[in-house]
Amino acid sequence: MLSEIPAKISKLKGKELDKQILRLGIIAELDAVNLYEQMASLTKNRKIRETLLDIAREEKAHVGEFESMLFMIDKEQVTEYAKGKKEVEEQFIKL
């Protein structure tokens, strides 16, 4: 894994600790997706590639699980996520 748990996280409590744990989970899963997809692009072995891509898809589902939990406890995250999504959609409409 490329990410490390920051030392400061141990100083957090309650909901703030839970939010950071979920964000670290998201980071770890995205790291895994990147790693598996990169390895899949390097191999010439079809079976290995298919397996790596299947595992990457599973990791993407884990990202969704962590995001769903984060959205349940961090309403600001929900609001800002919606704003970002709207901005991107507006940009694509202009294209």
DSSP string, the chain: ------GGGGG--HHHHHHHHHHHHHHHHHHHHHHHHHHHHH---HHHHHHHHHHHHHHHHHHHHHHHHHHHH-HHHHHHHHHHHHHHHHHHHH-
Q: How many domains does the chain have?
A: 1
The answer to whether residue 3 sits within a structural domain is: no
pTM: 0.84
The answer to whether residue 60 sits within a structural domain is: yes
Give the model confidence (pLDDT) of 6-51 as tens digits: 667 777 788 889 999 999 999 999 999 999 999 999 999 999 999 9
The answer to whether residue 36 sits within a structural domain is: yes
The boundaries of the domain holding residue 66 are 13-94
Q: Quote the pLDDT of residue 4.
A: 67
The answer to whether residue 1 sits within a structural domain is: no
